[in-house]
Chain A
Amino acid sequence: MSMSFQNKARRTTSDDDRILPLINVVFLLLIFFMLAGHLAATDPFNVEPPTSLSETEPEKSPHVVLIGGDGQLAYDGKVLEQEALVQALTAEVDGGAVDFQLKADGGAAAVRMVEIMELMRQAGVKKVRVLTVPKAL
């Protein structure tokens, strides 16, 4: 009887032992994703940024205007109309914000982007950084 009990105990420990490599790998994956990725708030709609050869890395800025593929606008995580965008940007400029970024979909109409940049100028924005991603190799 004591024999069978011992057998059972050994079998359960070896179950744990069999899971250990799995746990090792899962921990490694966890650490990889924690360190390599960075957490970012999701955009209210999908934006596929255009690819460019630019080497300039943008500084982190909380002031990002989004333009979707169909021309819709968002700022600060909210979908906005043009008038509301101008008001929000004017308030930000009055509050001393300088670094404005524009994240436009690569398939959006360029005329629309220029229109939004005109609105930003109207709100008092002096410099705009257009966000892009490097070309995939």
Chain B
Amino acid sequence: MSAPTTQRLSLAPQNNRRRNLISLTPLIDVVFILLVFFMLASSFLDWRSITLDPPKQTGGSPSLEQAVLIEVREDGLRLGGEVMALDSVAARAAALLQKKPDRPVLVRPDDGVPVQDVVVVLDALTAGGVTNLSLIRKKR
């Protein structure tokens, strides 16, 4: 009769002690705060890059006479004044470079053309094997 009572009494405080040893609520609080911090602070952007030569401010140097000029306008692309589609511009530029591989290729965006459109042209040229790429702009 007395044996089960002591067992029961000893079981109850043991349970209670196990629970009091580490209370989970503050732990969860801290972990939640850490979680929210890392969710807000971390960025998942996967960066890529295109390497370019910064343009010279003064035009008209002799090397530029040899250059292939591609104009990016709001209404389309021009290579040497001729209106073309994007893939034919890339093909033509690659063909021109086969004769003289070190010819610089200049891309000149017009006013109002967003960066994204120029990046698309640069992509197509790079895919066609052009390495000596540079951006220029019209002189004011």
Interface residues of A (CB under 8 A from B): 2, 5-6, 9-10, 12-13, 16, 19-20, 22-23, 26-27, 29-30, 33-34, 36-40, 49-58, 67, 101, 104-111, 113-115, 117-118, 120-122, 125-134
Q: Does B63 contact A (CB under 8 A)?
A: no
- Known: A52-B48, A114-B55. Contact between A9 and B19, CB under 8 A? yes
- A-B pairs, top 6 by smallest CB distance, nearest first, are A37-B42, A110-B109, A121-B54, A58-B49, A33-B38, A106-B116
Residues of B within 8 A of A129 (CB): 49-52
Q: Are A113 and B115 in contact (CB under 8 A)?
A: yes
> What is the interface size of chain B, counting residues whose CB is below 8 A from a CB of the partner?
55
Residues of A within 8 A of B24 (CB): 16, 19-20, 23
Q: Are B114 and A101 in contact (CB under 8 A)?
A: no
Residues of B within 8 A of A113 (CB): 115, 118, 135
17 contacts between A and B (CB under 8 A): A2-B12, A30-B31, A30-B34, A33-B38, A34-B42, A36-B42, A52-B120, A54-B48, A105-B115, A106-B116, A107-B114, A108-B115, A110-B115, A111-B109, A111-B111, A114-B137, A127-B51
Q: Are B52 and A133 in contact (CB under 8 A)?
A: no
- Known: A30-B34, A56-B48, A58-B49. Contact between A110 and B19, CB under 8 A? no
Interface residues of B (CB under 8 A from A): 5, 8-9, 11-12, 15-16, 18-19, 24, 27-28, 31-32, 34-35, 38-39, 41-57, 72, 109-120, 122-123, 126-127, 135-137
